[in-house]
Chains A and B, each alone.
Chain A
């Protein structure tokens, strides 16, 4: 395939924590709102005058300081975030909202807050905690709405004078939806028998949407979409199998590149920083202008929180129906994107994913007859020869299974 012209733009956006788009937004007087988890409604951090920045640590090489404060027994992602803050990578943030979804990340944010790392360069800087629910029932929806009102909206309004009215929120939702619709249309090209976009390219684009103002992204995504419409796939398949990648944080597209370099095309991304389910549109029929629906039945904030709670695929949601639904969701992605298998990965020292990963590796092959490769990895794993070998072995075994299935059907 010909190179994607806009890819360099996205790659530059994600090369570091800060980028030209964020700098331009700051020059326009917009606030930089850091956050660390998809369980926190991102749209509330993208209100007019604000830009949400999902925290990650691109290019961090040494984690010595992070390791001193958090020990080598903690998740590298969390340590890398602390390290990045010490290195000044997040000095441009005006505040950080922590979802309190994971104790390790909560500790990392505590370190940032109590050691006053980011505050030294910005006296207005603050850290706010938003307790996010652990189930997906109505108690959880009400709880998230309460927390978001008091700890996000009120705080943004009181500290920075941000407009947190329903109109402002609707505007942010509308922009979010426009961006998601474009991204999903780009992503839908992965469903084709011969996709005109690779998993790596999509991972870069998707990751960029977490690192730049949505209004700027919308224009660029349109350009990319137009480019894809005329892009021609390679005549001969460069890939041997198609896979869905699932699991914990992947904020390093080189990991996807590594998988694809072995011959497995990544057609769907159900991991933190991926597009499923975080880049799904927020549907608010009763709150749309001119809908004629009874708006009094539920306030806008609760409706938004309901969507975030219901669609959450994080393994910390512990109600039994949600535990089952997560596996169904993965199987559905495999079917929809015509994948041959699932690669479920987790970062070392994660508390949640070892269990979820083990459960997926047992349940999915048994219940849905879908091959699964289960692996753990370090934070930066794009160059890992060991992981490469494991993916290669998975490709071979999946091909053999496919052949056997074909012989059976014949």
Chain B
């Protein structure tokens, strides 16, 4: 159990009074509060600059989902809850870049959007990617833009404002989709039914990652999209090496499809250059993971998971050089914090592995775990997606290998390699990671409509009991707060900590927070 006196307020305190916005900013000591406030101002400036552009104003008036982005800064504040010093700076480095990228993605979309009089030529240079698509497929098409409208209209927006997906979920349910399937593809389908996706792109690539429901949602969205599309199949049983040939064949066909539809040619030089950058990011990531194994982990897992696996990769259009710079900055800050033996809260009581699909409407839940109970989430299965180093030198052998590398990245796409990849990746790795990262606790998200993970419920329970690992089940419904609210998620942890472990919270005022109506 490690303790450290904190600068500023001991805990963030009660920031909510039942309204939309927070009642005050957190006091982090003079230097950190000033730093935090300066980043707040910088991000507001970015947002204002974006929204006064004519195409952005048209987008704001045309699309219902755009309105929620007014709360983007609130997301930023939430994501750095309780952080101090280097960790606060790392949090801002990550999230400020996410804001920048969301703005960039929206700008590209609106400038090309045919529904609001966008430029047709720009639209023709866009290939629409499903949000669960492996972005590396765009590495070899430097003259094309990859765009992912679902990310802006549903996923990122849900993190910004917790109630934002409800309307589109209801639309999909009125169309006939049942209430027991995952809300993410359902909300995306709702947007498609309402014709609320920007009309962009020459063609679309969709896929069966992350899961069965996502596959099905895409099939109907494809119908509404109405332009040429390619369904990029990823084999399901990825523990079997025999499936890779199928995956590689699919990659080849997808590249041929994009070439045919857009007239662009696959550029090997660009591909290997981008892959080099990507490998550099992976190496940096492996260093971060190593540091998380020590007594002084420097990154709250949610921030890094969102930063690396969720937003960066989906939003970016192959400008990996910028990412490498950000990674270097994070690494520098991280080492500085480690040197000072910084810890994330006043007292580290438990090291937790976070497993399962996180509640997108409550991305700062891990911050709450740290602040309220001293549970430090070390790493998350979203983080543990791609840690391989791929061929990045342009040689004839590597060109053939590249199809298999892309296939590997595709089958191991975000989330699905753990949730759908089979027993070894979904269950046995949990115990391995607990040992490697010295975790005594698992925060197990149970997304009530995610059938992939819930199917292992009993096996997880028995495995954890056998190994003496504490397992805390946290139920949520991904985008739908009506089925399990933020407080309901907190209550499950409160109950476990008080009754099973007989512990008292570090910050009792955080056990119940009146944020049911907040962004």
Contacts and interface: CB of A to CB of B under 8 A. Distances in A.
Interface of A: 68-71, 73-75, 78, 100-104, 106-108, 110-111, 113-115, 129-135, 137, 139-140, 142-143, 146-147, 150-151, 315-316, 318-320, 323, 346, 348-349, 351-352, 354-359, 361-362, 374, 376
A351 B219 contact: no
B215 interface: yes
Contacts of B212: 102-103, 316, 351-352
24 contacts: A73-B180, A74-B451, A101-B236, A103-B451, A104-B452, A106-B236, A107-B452, A111-B459, A129-B239, A129-B422, A134-B231, A134-B236, A137-B253, A139-B253, A140-B246, A142-B246, A142-B249, A151-B242, A316-B212, A349-B451, A352-B215, A354-B180, A355-B177, A355-B181
A129 B245 CA distance: 17
Residue from B220, B239, B246, B459 whose CB has the most chain A CB atoms within 10 Å: B246
Contact of A131 (B206, B213, B243): B243
Contact of A73 (B234, B237, B451): B451
Contact of A68 (B181, B222, B458): B458
Given A71-B457, A103-B452, A150-B242, A354 B237 contact: no
B461 to A, nearest CB: 8
Interface of B: 175-178, 180-182, 189, 206, 208, 211-213, 215-220, 222-223, 229, 231, 233-237, 239-240, 242-243, 245-246, 249-250, 253, 419-420, 422-423, 427, 446, 448-449, 451-452, 454-459
B235 A131 contact: yes
A129 B454 contact: no
Given A134-B215, A139-B249, A140-B233, A71 B459 contact: no
Given A139-B246, A140-B233, A318-B208, A73 B216 contact: no
Given A318-B219, A320-B231, A351-B212, A106 B451 contact: no
B178 A73 contact: no
Given A68-B458, A70-B454, A73-B449, A349 B180 contact: yes
Contact of B420 (A103, A146, A150, A348): A103
A361 B222 CA distance: 17
Nearest to A139: B249
Contact of A362 (B176, B178, B239): B176
Contacts of B213: 351, 355
Contacts of B237: 100, 106, 129-131
A257 to B, nearest CB: 25
Contacts of A134: 208, 215, 231, 233-236
A143 B243 contact: yes
Given A114-B423, A323-B219, A318 B231 contact: yes
Contact of B217 (A130, A349, A355): A355
B432 to A, nearest CB: 16
A75 B456 CA distance: 13
Contacts of A349: 180, 451
Given A104-B455, A151-B240, A319-B231, 12 more contacts: A71-B454, A103-B451, A106-B236, A107-B451, A110-B422, A129-B237, A131-B237, A139-B233, A142-B245, A349-B451, A354-B176, A354-B180
